[in-house]
Structure 1
């Protein structure tokens, strides 16, 4: 067993153009439906899911099959390891604490699924389906931290990791570490199986993986419909409401108010990763290169990689709940009332929107089109590229009235036209757009 555990390593700084090309290259197989180049088994796995009816099952933003494939795509673009991505592809296939979607019988179908995805991925899938995820992620973890506390702990934890790696300083009494070990001990937690009530041991790394998977899961499926259903008017996604009569699907299509919640999940995930980095460094210094000396000290699931999603500036920022609401409403006013407001007012609304919420791409893309209409080509290129990069990094759309693929294609059209310094001046010219290079 290696002397250090798989952990995320932050990529070196890249210029914007190079980074944009890199994320586009990663996304292109998904855009072209070239699933075999992503994983040679992927086409057959999707076919199996389709054959057992996943495409017939309703899911919040379409079909269950669409959601499973989308979740896989997000995790793959976030560089998660294969077993985690495959867990995303089958993540509710036995049903779970959120949804009734048992397309495989957990009492008879586990061997079938294991033969499809491998035992490591099937174990993750099964655990994901039997743990009480709402209480584990929200009640037992997320709701124990205020936003101020999370931000302070992110700052202190960065210093702690640097001190550990550069100076060999390991202070387990630091406030942020004591708090984290209080809510999520280093040896994991025990939860109750949602169906039979038996104890289920969940390692810390597995909790972290499920936290990241929940970020991907929520980003793909939550839009305004759920806000109405749970009366999420403060934007904190606390699931306190119960507006069954008013939560009419699909609602008005507004972007959902989920970003504050998963930005907090991302911050908490970063704290777990940093604590694990310190643990690995401390053990490495104590044991040197002699792996056998610390075999007895191995913890569960150390082969699970903890990669940092690229969203919210690599999970180091939290979007204020109020800013999230203001930004969403500014965007909605801009895109829905442009004929009444005019381009100048629309530009103003979108600029205020991206100031309040700089973490989503669609407002930048729309702003890019506004600038193209005003023949402001440099500004259009800047905004369209920024929007394209963000949408590619998310792997899912924020404005779910259009697909992720549609937003990527449109943003690329805008970038191309901005570089060409041309934009149609007729309605037929707009309809003629489509080719991207």
Structure 2
């Protein structure tokens, strides 16, 4: 059965290359002036899921830059939690006293998006999007955070589109198995489980396994952008074939499990056939993340299947370039791209080392 390989969009890959250097954000004319004010609030020291709060904010902004979002949406990504929200207590700016300061820094339009994103009910928003509960024009009435009875706010179609796209970038940057365990059934979180009883699940960072259901949920968020009132308001993210296809929960979970079984060496190790078939099935079930395809490229190389390795490595590189963040959080996005380029180079040139120790000094040429 033919595998669903992606061709490499060289224009997209070129944009991704420009974002591999962590200093990219310091050279952005819109984002760079904001950094000193944000950094002085200690975001580089705050813990946040798979890294620090700085890593998270930069990573969300990176995906939005890669997706060519307008500057106010990129600024929203960089500042999307600075007033705090229902999910985190990381309040870096006091919404009661410091809105004017942030408005002076990023402009009223961007600050309005940030404030609204922080104060609205994110859970209700995600649920309404997943249920396609939009107004006819693509707008949405939403509750604000706080005790009942809650105030409501009317989102414009552009605000809905922006918040969907930022939510996609926000989720792909941070979600991995530890969050999946403690934040079960998000956005409808299971609050019944006590920490002392489920202490093993709470040990951070845990096994760093990729999530089992979030890619499916992200594909549904992306599909919502095809609503007639939302389509065309903002650049469409280049994931899920420009947000036109979805992944089922069942396929998402199965693909993640199959991939992880190879990573954990739960397959026979004497030859490569079983691991190859398992990874190929993972790619068939979920062809929208790069890591299974990248590992498969290396397995193909080990088996002497250079032509197949080229296809797998190119496809993996396309997926990494489309997301701007890693699905498998064990290493950073730029590291996944670097190793994938090594695999593609080796497959193209037929130079995969025969000796194990030679893997230690592979380098990209040109």
Please indicate, yes or no, whether the TM-score normalized by the shorter chain is above 0.5.
yes
Which residue of the other structure, out of 214, 228, 241, is the alignment partner of 2:181? 228
Residue number in structure 2 paired with 1:350? 279
SS, match of residue 194 in structure 1: coil
Structure 1 unaligned residues grouped into runs of 5+: 1-14, 146-179, 281-304
Query: What's 1:149 paired with?
Result: none
* 1:299-358 deviations in Å (ceiling 9; x for gaps): xxxxxx422111111111111111111111110111210784342221111011101111
Is 1:264 the counterpart of 2:192? The answer is no
The SS at the match of 1:191 is: strand
Number of aligned residues: 352
Aligned-pair CA distance for 1:113? 1.6
Quick one: structure 1 residues 36 and 263, their matched pair in 2 at CA, closer, same or farther if it must change by over 3 Å? closer
The alignment's TM-score, normalised by the length of structure 2, stands at 0.89
> Greater CA deviation, 93-102 or 29-38?
29-38
Distance 1:231 1:276, change over 3 A: closer
1:206 partnered with 2:159: yes
Query: Is 1:332 equivalent to 2:260 in the alignment?
Result: yes
Q: Partners in 2 of 1:392 and 1:317 — Cα distance?
A: 18
> How far apart are 1:192 and its partner, in Å?
3.2
Consecutive unaligned residues of structure 2, counting only runs of 5 or more, are: 1-5
- Out of 109, 113, 126, the residue aligned to residue 98 of structure 2 is 109
Of 94, 110, 122, the residue aligned with 1:121 is 110
1:200 deviates by 2.4
- 1:375-415 CA distance string (max 9 Å, x none): 22111111001001101101111111110011011111111
Report if aligned partners of 1:185, 1:204 keep a CA contact under 8 Å in 2: no
Q: Distance in 2 between matches of 1:61 and 1:37?
A: 22
- For 1:404 and 1:363, the matched residues in 2 are separated by 14
Match of residue 367 from structure 1: 296
RMSD: 2.3
- Cα distance between partner residues in 2 of 1:73 and 1:131: 24
User: C-alpha displacement at 1:427, in angstroms?
Assistant: 2.5
* Contact residue 35 and residue 42 of structure 1 kept, 8 A: no
Q: CA deviation at 1:435?
A: 2.6
Aligned twin of 2:356: 427
Q: Which has the larger radius of gyration?
A: 1
Contact 1:267 1:315 in 2 (8 A): yes
Map 1:353-432 → 2, pairs under 5 A: 353-432=282-361
Residue of 233, 237, 249 corresponding to 2:204: 249
Superposed displacement of residue 116, structure 1: 2.2
**Correspondent of 2:170 among 213, 217, 220:** 217
Which segment drifts farther, 100-109 or 87-96? 100-109
The answer as to whether partners of 2:290 and 2:319 remain within 8 angstroms in 1 is: yes
Asked if the contact 2:290–2:318 (Cα under 8 Å) also holds between the matched residues in 1, the reply is: yes
| 1:276 Cα deviation from its structure 2 partner | 4.7
Q: CA deviation at 1:187?
A: 7.4
- Whether the 8 Å contact between 2:138 and 2:229 is mirrored in structure 1 is no
**CA 48–433 in structure 1, closer or farther in 2 if over 3 Å, else same:** farther
* d(CA) in 2 for partners of 1:403, 1:249: 17
For 2:217 and 2:187, how far apart are their aligned partners in 1?
6
Contact 1:29 1:37 in 2 (8 A): no
Separation of aligned partners in 1, 2:56 and 2:339: 22
2:64 counterpart SS class: helix
Q: Is the 8 A contact 1:270 1:308 kept in 2?
A: no
Secondary structure at the aligned position of 1:80 is classed as coil
